[in-house]
Amino acid sequence: MREKVRKTIEEFHMFPQGAKIVVGVSGGADSVALLHLLSGWQAAYDWRLTAVHIHHGLRGEEADEDQAFVEALCRTLGIPCIVRRFDVAKEARTRGLGEEETGRLLRYAVFQEMAGEEGYIAVAHHRGDQAETLLMRLCRGTGLTGLVGMREVRGNLCRPLLECSRQEIEDYCKNAGLFWREDATNQQDTYTRNKLRLRVLPLLEEVNPLAVEHMAQTAALLAAEEDYLSEQAEQIYARLRLPSVPEEVHLPKDALSRLHPAMQSRLLRRALAEFVSADGSRSQVKALQELLEKPTGKRRDLLQGVVAENRYDTLVLSRKKEALQGFCVELPSEGEIFLPEGGISVKLQIFDKKIIEFSEDGCTNVFDYDKIDQILFCRTRQQGDYIHLKGGRKRIKDLFIDEKIPRAERESYPLIAMGEEILWVPGLRSSVDHLPDEQTKRILRIEIRRVQKYEGKN
């Protein structure tokens, strides 16, 4: 394994001579192996290693013991160790995110802070982690970019163990006389990654013992194709983009329409990236593609305050200031999230149909979970929003008028949405297409409450 890791570092030009390297060390076998390997090479390459351990404040004495173990390991190897402590549960409530995601964000923020502009970050993701990432993205829905999985190098973040299996890592530790810590929560299927690791991957390896290895190989092949297509898209985008004011992007409609749909969607995502940090969602790209077929003067309000419009033969993207008055927050598949912009909390739970009970109070509703095939958002209304009722499709704008919702309240009224389709207008109507029926197996229960200050539970 030592030679495999060394070749990976050299092939991807991870750490130059004399590099400052921040190593994330949890105390598990993978991070212990990574730290030990890098420490063995630091003299030859004149590397300056610093271990960083994050105490998440979630597992009591066990987490304290992890910290003590990492500090002792670093003393043995003669490597400086920095420990940062957080109350991840409290921070998750403040951010309105899950503990797993909050912990990840906090970790990488510290790693980046310690590395600075000139340093590098080394983390211990391995082949099994790559397989879990691919499965997570497949379940959530993704394109070629998502199927690439984790890269060996992304900016100053490096993954030297990505070609190694978990078994290789443990064997290396045993042969080197290294001990490691086992996180008991890794054996609990509370988090998505754990469910995939504990339930799904073993089944796939029954089908093919090399399933994890093959998924990693597939990710590498797709990464090469993604790189090529991205380069082509960037060149076409630079060639097609028309002169405009700094706050706008202008693209010729006829040239866009002649492109292959796959390349067209890439260029539209690239244009959206001028305004939003995240990759343009499929629903937003589809909205732009539909707009290309519309006549001059037609426009669409997109997420995050972006507006697109047809100006004669040109597609124009810009930011609409008034659109920023609303809010749009992606909802987790399960859990509770606080939306300070709307002063509400939203709680989602998945149940078997036979055990579900709920009170019909206008703030709680249930839907057929298996009929929902998109990510849910809680947001305010946007142009083009609609809902399916018994009488047919109805615009949200018309629904608010019919229900005599005051104009001042319409722009801040929270909706549960899937793209432009509204699943639920709390207190008013629900989409008939997603209600439970005799074939329903799983129920999604959504509870939405007005709160002024979130007092989340531990």
- Domain co-membership, 81 together with 199: yes
- Domain co-membership, 212 together with 256: no
243 in a domain, yes or no? no
Query: What confidence score (pLDDT) does residue 319 get?
Result: 77
- Domain co-membership, 202 together with 343: no
- Domain co-membership, 319 together with 341: no
Query: What confidence score (pLDDT) does residue 406 get?
Result: 65
Instruction: Look up residue 362 and give its two tokens.
Output: 């206008």
Q: Tell me which residues of the chain have a pLDDT lower than 50.
A: 322-324, 452-458
What is the domain count for the chain? 3
Instruction: Look up residue 170 and give its two tokens.
Output: 């443990």
Bridge partners (DSSP) listed for residue 429? 425
pTM: 0.62
- Domain co-membership, 113 together with 178: yes
Query: What confidence score (pLDDT) does residue 149 get?
Result: 86
Q: Which whole-number Å values give the CA distances from 183 to 23, 27, 191, 278, in the listed order?
A: 19, 9, 13, 32
- Domain co-membership, 330 together with 362: yes
Bridge partners (DSSP) listed for residue 377? 330, 417
- Domain co-membership, 294 together with 432: no
Query: What confidence score (pLDDT) does residue 354 get?
Result: 61
Query: What confidence score (pLDDT) does residue 225 get?
Result: 92
Of 289, 323, 357, which one is at a domain's C-terminal end? Answer: 323
- Domain co-membership, 202 together with 293: no
Of 323, 358, 377, which one is at a domain's C-terminal end? Answer: 323
List the Cα angle 185/189/191 in 5-degree steps: 80
**CA–CA separation, 219 and 221 (whole Å):** 6
Query: What confidence score (pLDDT) does residue 214 get?
Result: 92
- Domain co-membership, 253 together with 214: no
Query: What confidence score (pLDDT) does residue 146 get?
Result: 81
Q: What are the tens digits of pLDDT across the range 41-78?
A: 999 999 999 999 999 988 888 999 999 999 999 999 99
455 in a domain, yes or no? no
- Domain co-membership, 439 together with 348: yes
Instruction: Look up residue 406 and give its two tokens.
Output: 């005051």
458 in a domain, yes or no? no
Please provide the distance, in angstroms rounded to a whole number, between the alpha carbons at the two ends of the chain: 42
Query: What confidence score (pLDDT) does residue 364 get?
Result: 86
229 in a domain, yes or no? no
Torsion, CA 368, CA 371, CA 375, CA 380, rounded to 10: -70
456 in a domain, yes or no? no
Q: What are the tens digits of pLDDT across the range 368-387?
A: 988 988 889 999 998 889 99
Bridge partners (DSSP) listed for residue 314? 252, 311
How crowded is residue 304: how many other Cβ atoms within 10 Å of its Cβ? 14
The CATH number linked to 257 is 3.30.465.60
- Domain co-membership, 278 together with 333: no
Q: Which domain holds residue 197?
A: 2-223
Of 293, 323, 353, which one is at a domain's C-terminal end? Answer: 323
- Domain co-membership, 280 together with 218: no
**CA–CA separation, 133 and 55 (whole Å):** 24
